[in-house]
């Protein structure tokens, strides 16, 4: 009797999850002929994203501020297009724009860019900056700058494309957050907050745009070897370096390829490596279900992820204590 009850309940539970997963099914797409806009596409992760998108046959628009860097990436992209020689009509364009300055300017730029390469099919909100330092050392300007670029910049760009996506009943939007947008760590009070903000935005936005066949993805890369990362390291405090190192260092190429894959599948979250997987389980919260397998893994593994996180937090506390002692000694 007990066996039968457990069996019936398990089947009912699996059926329920299967129904939920099916209800959230996301159509697979490819990039061929799509208009892909990449913010911050002139350096680091964005640079490799632009390369990958052109290789896969998309019309590519790169947005960033510095014109020299934009011209360089444009030349590289033109060369790839010529080598692959698949479609000569593939459009490549660059636009010098500060995404954090004003919504009106951003909107006008997107209107211009859509006239030449067609309405935006895929928007990759990648441009971002980082400032590392203890809360008492960071200035109010730091907090405002990070929020303006990492959060509001993404809002302005997304608002510039979402109406047209809704009208066309098609669109994919990805936001590059960070593992530091899943957990807060020493030195990242300003940075983590600006990346956590994206989570709330994306959960609400996804719920609103799902009926229009628009899917939104949050990407959580670990430390990645880029010009931005090298610059960040100059001022990085010991505590932050030691804690961040526990999640390893990725290459911008592997991160870019992972991001493109997850956009094509329409995943809600995009992670890298075992730590990235565990962090997504730990922070699944109210993330929408995208497959039966993912949902089962989350349900089964959440307690384990919490236990590992507690052990890790203990380790981080030890690092902070040690650094604190060393600083007192140095004084
Ligand atoms: N590298 C890492 O360790 C990790 C990075 N990330 C995130 O990934 C994203 C890319 O990082 P990464 O490749 O290291 O960055 P880089 O500093 O190497 O490149 C940043 C790009 O963004 C552009 N950009 C910066 N500010 C603006 C702005 N206000 N308006 C328009 N474009 C801007 C830059 O061009 P220009 O200066 O000419 O405007 C550049 O093209 C960021 O969101 C970052 O937070 C997440 C996890 C790890
Ligand atoms: C159950 C959980 C286990 C997982 C362990 C995870 C360890 C967390 C380490 C945090 C790494 C933060 C990297 C930030 C990168 C970044 O955004 C900047 N470099 C940007 O320039």
Ligand 1 proximity of 142 Cβ (cutoff 6 Å) = no
Q: What's CA 31's distance to the chain center, in Å?
A: 18
pLDDT in tens, 183-213: 999 999 999 999 999 999 999 999 999 999 9
**In terms of Cα–Cα distance, which of 221, 279, 277, 230 is closest to 248?**
221
**What is the reported pLDDT for 290?**
87
Ligand 1 proximity of 247 Cβ (cutoff 6 Å) = no
Give the DSSP letter of residue 151: I
- What DSSP string describes 286-297? TPPP--HHHHHH
- What DSSP string describes 155-168? HHHHHHHHHHHHHH
pLDDT higher at 89 or 320: 320
Ligand 2, closest atom to CA 278? 1
* Sequence-separated (6 or more) residues with CB below 8 Å from residue 262: 174, 217, 219, 269, 270
For 96-111, give one letter per residue: b (16+ CB within 10 A) or e.
bbebbeeeeebeebbe
Q: In 3-state terms, what secondary structure has residue 177?
A: coil
Instruction: Give distance in angstroms: CA of 180 to centre of ligand 2.
Output: 5
- The chain-wide mean pLDDT, for the chain, equals 96
**In terms of Cα–Cα distance, which of 78, 29, 30 is closest to 54?**
78
Ligand 1 proximity of 69 Cβ (cutoff 6 Å) = yes
**What is the reported pLDDT for 83?**
84
Task: Report the sign of the C-alpha dihedral through residues 178, 111, 35, 49, in that order.
Answer: negative
* Pairing mode of beta strands 35-39, 59-64: parallel
Q: In 3-state terms, what secondary structure has residue 139?
A: coil
- Asked whether the predicted pLDDT for residue 92 surpasses 90, the reply is yes
Write the residue with the smallest CA distance to atom 46 of ligand 1.
178
Mean pLDDT value across residues 166-186: 98
The CATH T-level fold of domain 27-330 is: Rossmann fold (3.40.50)
Write the residue with the smallest CA distance to atom 18 of ligand 2.
223
Per-residue tokens: 127: 């441009």
**What is the reported pLDDT for 24?**
85
Phi then psi for residue 152, to 5 deg, are -65, -35
**What is the C-alpha separation between 229 and 191, in angstroms, rounded?**
13
User: Is residue 85 very low, low, confident or very high in pLDDT (cuts 50, 70, 90)?
Assistant: low
**What is the reported pLDDT for 89?**
84
Give the bridge partners for 33, in sequence order: none
- Ligand 2 interacting residues, C-beta cut-off 6 A: 130, 178-180, 183, 185, 222-223, 228-229, 232, 243-244, 246-247, 275, 278-279, 282, 305, 308-309, 312
Q: Which ligand is nearest to the CA of 177?
A: 1
Mean pLDDT value across residues 89-116: 97
**What is the reported pLDDT for 23?**
85
- Asked whether the predicted pLDDT for residue 224 surpasses 60, the reply is yes
User: Is residue 87 very low, low, confident or very high in pLDDT (cuts 50, 70, 90)?
Assistant: low
pLDDT in tens, 130-143: 999 999 999 999 99
Q: What percent of the chain has pLDDT over 90?
A: 92
For 186-224, give one letter per residue: b (16+ CB within 10 A) or e.
bbbbbbbbbbbbbbebbbebbeebeeebbbbbbbbbbbb
- Asked whether the predicted pLDDT for residue 84 surpasses 80, the reply is no
Q: Give the residue extent of every domain in the chain.
A: 27-330
**What is the reported pLDDT for 143?**
98
**What is the reported pLDDT for 187?**
97
User: Is residue 1 very low, low, confident or very high in pLDDT (cuts 50, 70, 90)?
Assistant: confident
Write the residue with the smallest CA distance to atom 35 of ligand 1.
64
Mean pLDDT value across residues 234-255: 96
pLDDT in tens, 257-299: 999 999 999 999 999 999 999 999 999 999 999 899 999 999 9
Per-residue tokens: 253: 């190429």
Write the residue with the smallest CA distance to atom 13 of ligand 1.
44
Locus of tokens 């730590």: 275
**What is the C-alpha separation between 275 and 281, in angstroms, rounded?**
10
Mean pLDDT value across residues 31-46: 98
- Asked whether the predicted pLDDT for residue 25 surpasses 90, the reply is no
Ligand 1, closest atom to CA 45? 13
pTM, two decimal places: 0.97
Instruction: Give distance in angstroms: CA of 247 to centre of ligand 2.
Output: 6
Q: Which ligand is nearest to the CA of 221?
A: 1
């Amino acid at each position: 009797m007990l066996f039968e009850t457990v069996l019936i309940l398990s089947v009912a539970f699996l059926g329920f999850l299967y129904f939920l997963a099916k209800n959230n099914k996301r159509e697979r797409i490819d990039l061929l002929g799509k208009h892909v806009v990449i913010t911050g596409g002139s350096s680091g992760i964005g640079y490799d994203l632009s390369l990958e998108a052109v290789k896969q046959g998309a019309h590519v628009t790169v947005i960033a501020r510095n014109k020299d860097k934009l011209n360089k990436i444009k030349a590289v992209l033109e060369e790839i297009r010529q080598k692959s020689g698949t479609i000569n009509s593939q459009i490549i364009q660059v636009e010098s724009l500060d995404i954090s300055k004003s919504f009106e300017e951003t909107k006008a730029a997107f209107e211009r860019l859509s006239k030449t390469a067609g309405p935006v099919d895929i928007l990759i909100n990648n441009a971002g900056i980082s400032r590392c330092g203890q809360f008492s050392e960071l200035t109010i300007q730091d907090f405002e700058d990070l929020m303006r670029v990492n959060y509001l910049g993404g809002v302005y760009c997304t608002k510039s494309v979402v109406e047209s996506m809704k009208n066309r009943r098609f669109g994919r939007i990805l936001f590059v957050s960070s593992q530091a947008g899943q957990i807060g760590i020493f030195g990242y009070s300003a940075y983590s907050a600006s990346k956590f903000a994206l989570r709330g935005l994306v959960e609400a936005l996804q719920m609103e745009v799902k009926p229009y066949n628009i899917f939104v993805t949050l990407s959580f890369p670990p430390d990645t070897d880029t010009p931005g990362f090298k610059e960040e390291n100059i001022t990085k405090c010991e505590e932050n370096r030691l804690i961040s190192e526990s999640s390893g260092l990725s290459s911008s190429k592997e991160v870019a390829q992972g991001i493109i894959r997850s956009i094509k599948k329409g995943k809600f979250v995009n992670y890298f490596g075992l730590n990235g997987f565990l962090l997504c389980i730990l922070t699944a919260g109210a993330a929408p279900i995208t497959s039966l397998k993912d949902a089962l893994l989350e349900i089964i593994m959440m307690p384990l992820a919490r236990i590992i996180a507690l052990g890790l937090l203990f380790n981080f506390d030890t690092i902070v204590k040690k650094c604190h002692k060393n600083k007192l000694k140095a004084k």
